Structure 1
Amino acid sequence: MTHRIILFRGMNTGGVRAPVSDLRAMAADMGLKNPCTLLASGNLVVESGKATDALEHDIEAAMEKTFGLKVAAMVRTPDQWASLVAANPFPDEAAAHPARVVAMVMKDGIRAGALDACRELAEGGECVEAIDDVLWFWFPNGQGESGIFKKATPRLLGMGTGRNWNTVLKLADMVGLTR
């Protein structure tokens, strides 16, 4: 058994609600060990021997059964998360303004043309890079004012969920990654 990081898309934002205590209880009922949540924004860390694809399927089915919610889940291993942390294309920006660097972890890869489309929407110094199955964003003026963030939908990008650099590092700490 090893840690698994589970990210839920849109959890406790946009009207999708599941109390974190109930989320941990659901994970325990599924046989997942030591479920821990980070914040109230769809971050769950468990111990499991299941493959990531199988765990994604099981978690999504449990979310629908337990809460009546169709929520996309992205599951990553500690090694995958370590690669994500190491790949950050905006390290200086992340050190100075960690809440303004966002890693969008994609469920089934980045949709063809998404990177170019995001770059066309960028304004005010915004940058976007694609590394493996992650879209990386630098929002110098914050997400709320971003031309990319206002118009980039799953239809354009593919299904994913974003976490700012602060959250990325906290999840790394939760699975015992050293930086």
Structure 2
Amino acid sequence: MAIWLAFLRGINLGKRQVKMAELRTCLEAAGFVAVKTVVASGNVRLEAEGGADAIKGKLETAIEAQFGFKVGVVLRSQAELKAMLDKHPFDTLDPKADVTRHVLMFDQPLPAGLRIEDRPGHTEILRIDPRDIYIAGYRQPNGRYTEGVEEVLKPLYAQLGKGALDTMRNWNTIEKMLA
């Protein structure tokens, strides 16, 4: 069996509440093994047989059947997540900067040659990979870090259209996924 990392989009927001123990039970009942949730925002490490599309579909079907609403899943293999961890661009940041690190992950490849205009010292796009965008959010006078990220990403979403499935995670969460 292979190790997979599933990132659920938009749970534990508003009425879309999912307790991690219930999610674990749901996924185990669907046939996944060694299910482990990481942080209470829909991050799951599991083992399964099959290809990415089949596993993603099985996850989405099981979650909708159990909780009564659709949840998009962005899936990464163990090798893909290990490559992210090994080759991330966050080492380029000033170690003294008051910054938060995030990765915006997509379930489908991004358009080739994609460019996003960032705001240096505020919301910086550090690198765009085929399905991932690495983002640094600097602390602002109001104490927030990612307040400007939506404005920076607005042209991206306009280009991608409504069908794009993505989810953003704090880099600290990504670092915990294979632990």
TM-score, reference length from structure 1: 0.81
Q: Distance in 1 between matches of 2:97 and 2:77?
A: 26
Kindly report which structure 2 residues correspond to 1:52-67, keeping only aligned pairs within 5 A, or say none. Answer: 52-67=52-67
Matches within 5 A, 1:31-42: 31-42=31-42
Residue pairs, 1:89-108, within 5 angstroms: 89-93=89-93, 100-108=100-108
Q: Structure 1 regions of 5+ residues with no counterpart?
A: 174-179
**SS state of the match for residue 39, structure 2?**
coil
| Structure 1 residue 87 displacement after superposition | 2.6
Runs of 4+ in 1 over 4 A off after TM superposition: 94-99, 153-157
Q: What CA deviation, in whole Å up to 9, does each residue of 1:92-150 have, x standing for no partner?
A: 4396679711111111122568x53x41x53544221201210110111254422x335
Q: Does 1:127 align with 2:124?
A: yes
Q: CA–CA distance in 1 between the matches of 2:35 and 2:94?
A: 28
Whole-Å Cα distance in 1 between the matches of residues 158 and 106 of structure 2? Answer: 12
SS at match of 1:136: strand
Greater shift in the superposed pair: 83-92 or 26-35: 83-92
Q: How many residues matched? A: 169
Alpha-carbon distance in 1 for matches of 2:158, 2:73: 17
Match of 1:11 in 2: 11
Q: Counterparts of 1:138 and 1:106 in 2: how far apart (Å)?
A: 17
In structure 2, what is the equivalent of residue 145 of structure 1?
147
Larger radius of gyration: 2
> Cα RMSD (Å) of the superposition?
2.5
- Which letter maps to 2:124? C
The 1-side partners of 2:150 and 2:62 are apart by 30
- Specify the code of the residue in structure 2 equivalent to 1:161: T
Gap change, CA 1:151 and 1:140, over 3 Å in 2:
closer
Counterpart of 1:149, as a letter, is: E
Separation in structure 2 between the aligned mates of residue 26 and residue 96 of structure 1, nearest angstrom: 43
Code of the residue aligned with 2:119 in structure 1: it is A
Whole-Å separation in 2 of the counterparts to 1:22 and 1:99: 34
Partners of 2:98 and 2:138 within 8 A in 1: no
TM-score (norm 2): 0.81
* Equivalent of residue 164 in structure 1, options 159, 163, 170: 170
Percent same amino acid at aligned positions? 23
* Letter in structure 2 aligned against 1:140: Y
Which stretches in structure 2 are left out of the alignment for 5+ residues? none
